[in-house]
Amino acid sequence: TDPLDFPKLTMNGLPLPPQIYFSAFAKQSGFLTKLSNTGTTSSSLSSPSPSLSQSPSIEPNASNVSINSSTSIEHQISQTMHRAYHNMLLQKMQSQKSYKAIASIILEIHAMLRSLIPNRADLHNVLDDEKIVQCSFSTFHESLKHVQATGEALSMLESEYRSITTKQWLNSLMDIPNGTSSVSGENENVGQENIFQTEQYETITLSSLENEEEEGINNVHEVEQYKITYPSFLLASVAYLHNKVEVCQTEIGNFKLGHIIAPKVQSLGKEFLLLKFQEQFGNLQILNQNHHECNSNDVDEGDENSNLQHLKSILPNTQTWIEEMIQELADDDYDTLHQLLSIEEKRGEILLQNGWIDNILFRSPRSINDAEHRRQELGTATATVTDENDDSVADNNDADVDVD
């Protein structure tokens, strides 16, 4: 890789995920239902989102989950597994009559956020896990308060570009009636189960907006409106934050790869691989030095033979590979063989093309032993064909004699 392209490297080989707004994520994840009854009383949230028209709109509880066939198989499987998991959590909320099911995801997000700043232990306690464990998650606004705190922490750790969508989601929470500052005080005398039974049917309306950039100007226009229930909104919010933390971790890994790992690999990789090779097979520089000394009659020839025999014993396949390459070049391309043996500047290029690409990558058959066996079979077959041809010639000669 060209050093100028190091910043473009990614850990998984894929391009960075695009910016995504909450409404787009909720729609792609199947949390939204298109609003059909305009008379329904609900709060209104606005979320700019790119290309929403290409995403499926499916309720998580729906059995007929369809996935965009244009996406990859891996993406379809991932979407299906995520929706199955979300369905399970929604059913768990209904059975527990509370929103406690999202607590484990919030705690996981806390751990992921701390991993982003491992050396800032003083900031780790900003996210209070104990409060999450002790919270009953009995009401929507009580639960949303903890989700909001997690989102605020994330927005401070994200890049400025990525934090735009997180801050937009945080601002949208202010449009929900009663906000997130109180814990539904009017329901103090109502049982926890009755509160959930009432709240689970409450809905929020999301106005999906699409951004269009023309000559540097953002033109935002409304596309469609959707509704989402309180339980689905909480679950979609924590899933959205979890996804954004994963993106943040990916970007940190990509930054380390492009600015730390790749330059080190380029500058130290060759020497490191040579060192590891010599640790396993011996110091080749000493062997080469002994070889040159033997040629200058400074070392007994027996020592050179001993070194070469040792090298052959620990690298038998390498010896066979070099012998095969030299033999093929001797049969087909003597000029290249001469360059390999006598021109050091050309040796690396020839080894790469003829030795690596032709003799290893595109070798047929793959095994050296198979190649020897194949040569033996071809030799036997050739001998048999020759014998048959000789017999045929003899028979033809006999026929000619009879005719004569």
pLDDT at residue number 51: 34
Please say if the pLDDT value at position 19 is more than 50.
yes
* Residue 401 pLDDT grade (very low, low, confident, very high; cuts 50, 70, 90): very low
pLDDT at residue number 163: 93
Please say if the pLDDT value at position 363 is more than 80.
no
Spatial contact of 76 and 114, defined as CB atoms under 8 Å apart: no
Tell me the mean pLDDT in the region 100-113.
94
Tell me the mean pLDDT in the region 352-368.
72
Note the pLDDT tens digit of each residue in 31-53. Answer: 887 765 444 444 445 444 333 33
List the strands of the sheet with 33-34, edge to edge: 33-34, 217-229, 203-214, 43-48
Note the pLDDT tens digit of each residue in 63-97. Answer: 333 334 445 788 788 888 999 999 999 999 989 89
Note the pLDDT tens digit of each residue in 252-282. Answer: 999 999 999 999 999 988 888 888 888 877 7
Q: How many residues does the chain have?
A: 404
- Spell out the residues 6+ positions from residue 223 whose beta carbon is closer than 8 angstroms to its own: 49, 52, 53, 208, 209, 210
What's the start-to-end Cα distance of the chain, in Å? Answer: 77
pLDDT at residue number 17: 81
pTM of the model as a whole:
0.62
Note the pLDDT tens digit of each residue in 297-329. Answer: 555 555 556 666 777 777 778 778 888 888 888
* Residue 246 pLDDT grade (very low, low, confident, very high; cuts 50, 70, 90): very high
pLDDT at residue number 145: 93
Radius of gyration of the chain (CA): 36
Please say if the pLDDT value at position 295 is more than 90.
no
Helices 368-403 & 316-332, crossing angle to 10 degrees?
Answer: 40
pLDDT at residue number 84: 92
Please say if the pLDDT value at position 24 is more than 90.
no
d(CA 135, CA 265): 48
* Residue 247 pLDDT grade (very low, low, confident, very high; cuts 50, 70, 90): very high
**Of 187-201, 229-243, 379-393, which has the strongest mean pLDDT?**
229-243
